[in-house]
Structure 1
Amino acid sequence: MTRINLLPWREAQREERRQRFLLLLVGVVVVAVGVILLGNHWINSAIERQIARNAYVSRQIAVLDDRIRQIGELKARREQLVERMGIIQGLQGNRPVSGRVFDQLVRTLPTGVYFTEVKRVDDTLSIRGAALASDRVSDLMRNLEGSDWFGAPSLSEVKTATPGATDQASLFRLTVRQVAPATTGGAE
């Protein structure tokens, strides 16, 4: 049997194009929504990764700040220890000096003179004593001046123990500065 198309063929073609257009439009909308959702998911995951990186960096900064604080404390402790070591070394270095100073005091002491008091303030020795005669005090001062361990003796006072007596002892007070000898080997 023969078919006769009573519909105009152009309308059918237009309807077919319209359906293809709508189908294509729906496809494009679906693809666009999918691309937008994927893009949104990708951006959100990138933001989450960056937030995680920032949190990691913040934790590491806190750790480094703590280490820096500890380093500062260690430096302060080190400075204290170095200062203490310097004090101890100074004391250890001056230890034999006291013995040598007393040895030199004995070596410079002429016969007929004795000390009643010896005080040390910084590098100055203050000496009180008695001598059988005034000239013995002069000998003591010359001996102190000639010593490698002492310098600049200064006599403050000389008086007789009992005024008017001719054979009485002379009391004296003098100060002398302690100096370090050029070579410590010669002072033994």
Structure 2
Amino acid sequence: MKTAVSLTLPAWLVDELPGLPTRLDTVEQRMALVNTLAARNHVEGNGGPFAALVADRQTGELVSVGVNVVLSTGLAAAHAEFMALSLAQAELGGWDLGADRDRQLELVVNWRPCVMCYGSTLWSGIRHLVVAGSGPELEQLTGFDEGPMRADWAEQFESRGISVTQGVGREDALAVFAAYGASNALIYNARGGDGVVIPQ
């Protein structure tokens, strides 16, 4: 019986880390990096076309990046948000990313979190959430099941002190999803069997 699991960024991204900017001054720059990483991730075979990062909203400091590594790890929880949040918590030495009231940490993601990542984000202590979009387009273009999300998901974040910004880099995110949907990539919804493939 296993007693531990290990999650790491894929080798291609680890190799890219030294070349990434240490500071991204605008939310548009931060989302552009997220969309770039998401576009490459599924081509590399690690998982879906999803990426995320944690940054200091005030200084632009890049704290962590994450991509979806469900396929390369065999772990369903290894979504981009979970990776970025967990690596930020490891980097900063604590589970509460809002503990330092002098820092305004934000999670930047290339779509609204799925139902699992909704909870991860909610309890991470993050102060701000930035998403490219939140409509049905993700599921329509990729075939992924994002789960039974609440209609008032953004309001629930706001009521807990987590600001929500939507629509940053939306068209670029949709282009990444469309490319994934057109690629005949594995759609790893837990429905039994080996997943489904979007027909051409």
Question: Which category of TM-score, normalised to the shorter sequence, fits these structures?
Answer: under 0.3
Of Structure 1 and Structure 2, the greater strand share is in: 1
TM-score (norm: length of structure 1) = 0.22
Of Structure 1 and Structure 2, the greater helix share is in: 1
TM-score (norm: length of structure 2) = 0.21
- Whichever of the two has the greater Rg, that structure is 1
| Structure with larger RCO (C-alpha < 8 A, sep 6+) | 2
